[in-house]
Every structure is written in C-alpha cells, then in structure tokens.
Structure 1
Amino acid sequence: MASSSYASEYPPGVQFDPEFKKFFEDFYAVSDTPDIHDEYVKNFTDGATLVMASKKAVGKEEILQMRKGLWERVSVRKHYPLKIFPAGNNSDEVMLYGTVDYGLKAGGEAGLDWAARAHLVKEDGRVKMDYYQVYLDTGAQQQKK
C-alpha cells in the first residue's frame, strides 16, 4: 500500500513536524496489514500506553497481545485518517479523526468513525508514540451486507 493513501488534512497555518506526518501515514499502513504485529509494536515506546475503546495495554508485550486480538475476527481493515489536529505549532500531541472499514472473517463488512489522541516522541532515530488512545463511535457502526 502506498503511504500517500493514508495522508491526512491538517489545519492551515499550523506547523507540524514532517516526520510526524510521515509517521502517521506509515502507522496506518502497518495497522491495516495483518500478520506484521512486531512492526506495529515498533511504533510505540517500551512503556507506552495504548487505549482502544474500553481496553488498555501498557508496555510492548501488552500492546502486542492487544494488536493480535484486533485481528481475531477481522480479515481486512482500512483506516482513513481524515484529519489530524496538532495541539499548536510544532506540537508533539495531536487529536485525530477518521473512519475505518473492515471485513469480518465470519462474513460481511462493517465500518465506524473513530477519534484518537496521540503523544509523539523521537527515540532511537525514529518517531514513536508513548500514548495513543482511540475512541470508537460504536453508536454509528454500520453493518454492511
């Protein structure tokens, strides 16, 4: 998948590190690729916190287990990170908004809106998150036939 398919809109006039922009494009491409769980985990610091709806994982091992669980019932997933809102010029904290579509192993497709909050750091020569919380709009979830 080309990372450009994961490009997001940013507020006009807000300066945001180009490495952070590239990080999110790459992160969602990895998120949507099954069976590369270790690559997904490399996007987090050792002590990072990941909150996905009501589930919380702290540290790379717990994040790895959560990641594997996210693929148990899903055969395909496609994120659309539509807008990213840095918390000011050159901020390392952002709010995100997007949608996600997925195909279920049991058959059928579904999709929903999501929002997230992320804190970014540069560690070991790469961008990582030390905090990532995803809010899922399950009330707007649509089952497709």
Structure 2
Amino acid sequence: MSSYTSEYPSDSDFDSEYKTFFEKFYETSDSPSAHEQYSEQFTQDATLIMPTKKVQGREEILSLRKGMWEKIVRRKHTALKVFPFGPNANEVMLYGTVQYSLKDGREATVDWAARAHLVKKDGTVMMDFYQVYLDTAAQNPSK
C-alpha cells in the first residue's frame, strides 16, 4: 500500500484508475525535480487555482509548479479523504495535510482541501480543473 493511499466513502464505486491517479499525483507533487511530470498530469487547457494564483494551461502550470519549490526543501502531502460526487463520479473534494520543510529551516504542517475534475484522454487520467484551499498564514510559521 502506497503512503499516498486515501480513504474513500465505503459506498463509493469510484474508478480505481482515478484512485491510482491521486496516489501518483501527490507523490509527483512531493518530488522537487518532477516539474514536467507534474504539469503532464493536467490537460493542455487545464485550470489550476492555488490560494494566491490562478493559471490556465500546461505551460502556466509548469511555471507555477517551479515557483512553488523556490522556498521549499521538502514537502509531503497526505490526502486523507477523497469524496467523489455521486456514482461514477469524475469530480471530487479532497481533504488532507501537507508538511513543509523550508529552506530557511522552518517547518510547517497545513490542512488543505481541494476540488478536482478528472478526465480520461486516450486512456490516461488527467485533471482539467484543480483548486486548492488552504490557510496561507499557516504556511509561514514564525521561528
């Protein structure tokens, strides 16, 4: 079992390929050098909304992704629970935590939530929409 495995509602028939996608997505998200792999998990015209920025398209997602690692040495996402929207859903809400190790030596753990819309393009699962909600003040703990 992956350390990126999430909990799902017991009555959910959520697509196993989508479950695998999220495991790989957060593992890639936590890899400091996987910028291209991260951006390739989105469709060409995807929308990505972070607490402080909205980007459109894979190129802008790649640029945002690189910027997200400028002050971070390490991070570890834990997607605790995934809530699919109805039977055979391709839209979900997620809840989890992320632990950060910053380049200035500080550490932080932040709760987050997200909304994601999944699509299959030529048999490959990708997101065409992903919005993250978190307390940005909690990302910057005092020393």
Scaled by the length of structure 1, the TM-score of the pair is 0.93
Q: Partner letter of residue 87 of structure 1?
A: F
Q: Is the 8 A contact 1:51 1:133 kept in 2?
A: yes
Q: Is the 8 A contact 1:86 1:92 kept in 2?
A: yes
Q: Is the 8 A contact 1:57 1:63 kept in 2?
A: yes
Aligned to 1:73: 71
Aligned to 1:124: 122
Aligned positions, number? 143
CA RMSD in angstroms comes to: 1.5
- In 2, the alpha carbon distance for the partners of 1:78 and 1:40 equals 15
Q: How does 1:93-132 map to 2 (within 5 A)?
A: 93-132=91-130
Q: CA deviation at 1:14?
A: 1.3
- Secondary structure, counterpart of 2:36 in structure 1: helix
Q: CA deviation at 1:28?
A: 0.2
Change (3 A) 1:141 1:68: closer
Structure 1 residue runs of 5 or longer lacking an equivalent are none
- In 2, the alpha carbon distance for the partners of 1:25 and 1:69 equals 22
- What are the superposed Cα offsets for residues 71-110 of structure 1, whole Å, 9 maximum, x if unpaired? 0000000000000000011100000000000100111211
Aligned to 1:28: 26
More strand per residue = 1
Q: CA deviation at 1:144?
A: 8.0
- In 1, the alpha carbon distance for the partners of 2:112 and 2:64 equals 17
**Which 4+ stretches in 1 moved above 3 angstroms?**
138-145
- Secondary structure, counterpart of 1:4 in structure 2: coil
Aligned to 2:41: 43
